[in-house]
């Protein structure tokens, strides 16, 4: 495998990529490894990213301009389907999953939405589970303490019985 250095895509590379993608357009499944081997100067990831730029942008070729309604839809869908980008993408057919993730992460950084959706039911369940674990811990700690005391008492009793037995044997052997 040859070492590939990143450079700006040439028109020749772009047209070759378009041609290769069109050859596979009937299946909608692209083997980016094969495509990158044919292009020779690009990695599979670079080919995929360029494909997104060439085919998944607006008709004008410009970057997608998000409006407030789309941002709201994205955040709402994310809260309903956390990290299920394929499901979310069904509402944004013109955008790739990568574009959706990037936009969502940008919104999360600017605090327009929460990165991990909060659900009051989930919070209540978590709190309830935590309380249950704490109660079990307290019970276990108490039971262990009681059991330890019982074992120490048994040990002391055994020691005293052994001491008495040792005295008896010593007196028996001295006869």
pLDDT, tens digit, 9 for 90 and up, residues 97-128 = 888 888 898 888 887 555 555 554 555 556 66
Residue 71 burial (CB count, 10 A): 16
pTM: 0.40
What gap in Å lies between CA 107 and CA 79, rounded to an integer? 13
* pLDDT score at 64: 79
Compute CA distances 140 → 135, 144, 146, 148, whole Å. 8, 6, 10, 12
* pLDDT score at 139: 65
* pLDDT score at 132: 66
* pLDDT score at 31: 86
Write the pLDDT tens digit of every residue in 85-97.
989 988 887 788 8
Write the pLDDT tens digit of every residue in 44-83.
888 888 887 777 655 555 677 889 999 999 999 999 999 8
């Amino acid at each position: 495998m040859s070492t590939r250095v990143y450079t700006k895509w040439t028109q020749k590379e772009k047209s070759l990529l378009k041609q290769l993608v069109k050859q596979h357009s009937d299946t909608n499944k692209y083997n980016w490894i094969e495509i990158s081997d044919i292009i020779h100067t690009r990695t599979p990831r670079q080919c995929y990213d360029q494909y997104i730029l060439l085919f998944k942008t607006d008709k004008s070729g410009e970057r997608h301009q998000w409006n407030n309604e789309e941002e709201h839809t994205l955040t709402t869908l994310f809260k309903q389907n956390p990290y299920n980008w394929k499901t979310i993408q069904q509402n944004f057919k013109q955008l790739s999953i990568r574009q959706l993730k990037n936009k969502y992460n940008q919104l999360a950084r600017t605090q327009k939405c929460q990165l991990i959706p909060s659900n009051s039911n989930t919070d209540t369940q978590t709190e309830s589970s935590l309380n249950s674990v704490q109660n079990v811990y307290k019970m276990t700690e108490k039971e262990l303490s009681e059991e330890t005391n019982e074992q120490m008492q048994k040990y002391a009793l055994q020691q005293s019985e052994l001491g008495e037995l040792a005295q008896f044997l010593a007196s028996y052997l001295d006869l």
